[in-house]
Structure 1
Amino acid sequence: MRGLPKIQQLQVFQAIIQHGSIRAAAKALDQSQPGITRSLQELEQKVGAVLVIRGGGGVILTGAGIMFKTRMELVLNELNRALDEVEHLNNLTSGTVAMGLSSLAILTLLPAALREFKKTNQKSSIFNREGQANELLPALQSGELDFIMVRAIPSEYLSGLVQEPLFKTSFKVYARKGHPLARCTSLAQLQDADWYLPVTAMRQCNPLESLLFNSPDKAVMRGTVNAVLQMVLHADYLTVVPKAMVRAHFLAQNLGIIPVKERLPDVEYCLVYSSERPITQAARSLMDAFHLESQQHAWG
Structure 2
Amino acid sequence: MNNLPKINQLKNLRAIIQYGSIRAASQAVHQTQSAMTRSIQELEKTLGVTLLDRTARGALLTEMGRLFEPRMNLVLNELERAVDEIRQQESATNGTVVFGCSHLPAFGIMPGVLTKFQQRHPKAALTVIEGQLSELLGSLRLGRMDFFIGIITPDIALHEFSEEQLSVAKFCVFAHKDHPLAECQSLLELRNAKWYLPTASTGFFSAIEKVVFPGGKGPDCSVLYGDSTTIAEQLILAEGYLSVGPQAMLELPWLKEKLCQVNVKETLPNGNYSLIYRQQQTLTPIAKLLINEIRHEFIK
Q: Normalised by the size of structure 2, how large is the TM-score?
A: 0.89
> Which of residues 220, 226, 233 in structure 1 aligns to 2:230?
226
Aligned to 1:36: 36
Deviates further, 105-114 or 142-151: 105-114
Counterpart residue identity of residue 188, structure 1: L
Counterpart residue identity of residue 209, structure 1: E
Q: Percent identity?
A: 38
Shift of the 76–259 alpha-carbon distance from structure 1 to 2, 3 Å rule, reads: same
| Contact 2:155 2:203 (8 Å CA) reproduced | no
Paired residues for 1:225-244 under 5 Å: 225-244=229-248
Cα drift, residue 4 of structure 1: 1.2
Note if 1:248 corresponds to 2:252: yes
Cα drift, residue 209 of structure 1: 3.2
Cα drift, residue 32 of structure 1: 1.1
- What secondary structure is seen at the aligned counterpart in 1 of 2:75? helix
Question: Structure 1: which 5+ runs fail to align?
Answer: none
Counterpart residue identity of residue 289, structure 2: S
Cα drift, residue 42 of structure 1: 0.4
Paired residues for 1:103-142 under 5 Å: 103-114=103-114, 117-118=117-118, 121-142=121-142
Aligned to 1:84: 84
Counterpart residue identity of residue 106, structure 2: I
- Determine the C-alpha separation between the residues in 1 that align with 2:232 and 2:201: 16
Paired residues for 1:89-100 under 5 Å: 89-91=89-91, 94-100=94-100
Summarize deviations over 1:238-277 as a string: whole Å, max 9, x none. 2212222343373443221112233322111111211122
Shift of the 126–172 alpha-carbon distance from structure 1 to 2, 3 Å rule, reads: same
Shift of the 155–256 alpha-carbon distance from structure 1 to 2, 3 Å rule, reads: closer
Aligned to 2:22: 22
Paired residues for 1:195-234 under 5 Å: 195-218=195-218, 219-224=221-226, 225-234=229-238
Deviates further, 163-172 or 31-40: 163-172
Q: Normalised by the size of structure 1, how large is the TM-score?
A: 0.89
Shift of the 68–249 alpha-carbon distance from structure 1 to 2, 3 Å rule, reads: farther
* RMSD (Å), alpha carbons: 2.3
- Determine the C-alpha separation between the residues in 1 that align with 2:71 and 2:41: 19
Shift of the 286–2 alpha-carbon distance from structure 1 to 2, 3 Å rule, reads: farther
How many residue pairs end up in the alignment? 296
Paired residues for 1:263-274 under 5 Å: 263-274=267-278
Deviates further, 99-108 or 187-196: 187-196
Paired residues for 1:173-184 under 5 Å: 173-184=173-184
Paired residues for 1:137-152 under 5 Å: 137-152=137-152
- What secondary structure is seen at the aligned counterpart in 1 of 2:276? strand
| Contact 2:134 2:203 (8 Å CA) reproduced | no
Cα drift, residue 222 of structure 1: 2.6
Cα drift, residue 206 of structure 1: 4.8
| Contact 2:98 2:147 (8 Å CA) reproduced | yes
- Determine the C-alpha separation between the residues in 2 that align with 1:207 and 1:92: 41
Deviates further, 27-36 or 223-232: 223-232
Question: Structure 2: which 5+ runs fail to align?
Answer: none
Cα drift, residue 179 of structure 1: 1.8
- What secondary structure is seen at the aligned counterpart in 2 of 1:49? coil
Shift of the 246–27 alpha-carbon distance from structure 1 to 2, 3 Å rule, reads: farther
- What secondary structure is seen at the aligned counterpart in 1 of 2:113? helix
Cα drift, residue 26 of structure 1: 0.8
- Determine the C-alpha separation between the residues in 1 that align with 2:195 and 2:118: 40
Counterpart residue identity of residue 44, structure 2: E
- What secondary structure is seen at the aligned counterpart in 2 of 1:195? strand
- What secondary structure is seen at the aligned counterpart in 2 of 1:64? helix
- Determine the C-alpha separation between the residues in 2 that align with 1:18 and 1:127: 19
Summarize deviations over 1:107-145 as a string: whole Å, max 9, x none. 222134335645764532212222222332121111111
Cα drift, residue 235 of structure 1: 3.0
Aligned to 2:102: 102
Deviates further, 107-116 or 258-267: 107-116
Counterpart residue identity of residue 215, structure 1: G
Note if 1:12 corresponds to 2:12: yes
| Contact 1:107 1:249 (8 Å CA) reproduced | no
Deviates further, 234-243 or 150-159: 150-159
Cα drift, residue 99 of structure 1: 0.9
| Contact 1:246 1:252 (8 Å CA) reproduced | yes
| Contact 1:169 1:244 (8 Å CA) reproduced | yes
Cα drift, residue 156 of structure 1: 4.1
Cα drift, residue 58 of structure 1: 0.8
Counterpart residue identity of residue 268, structure 2: L
Aligned to 1:52: 52
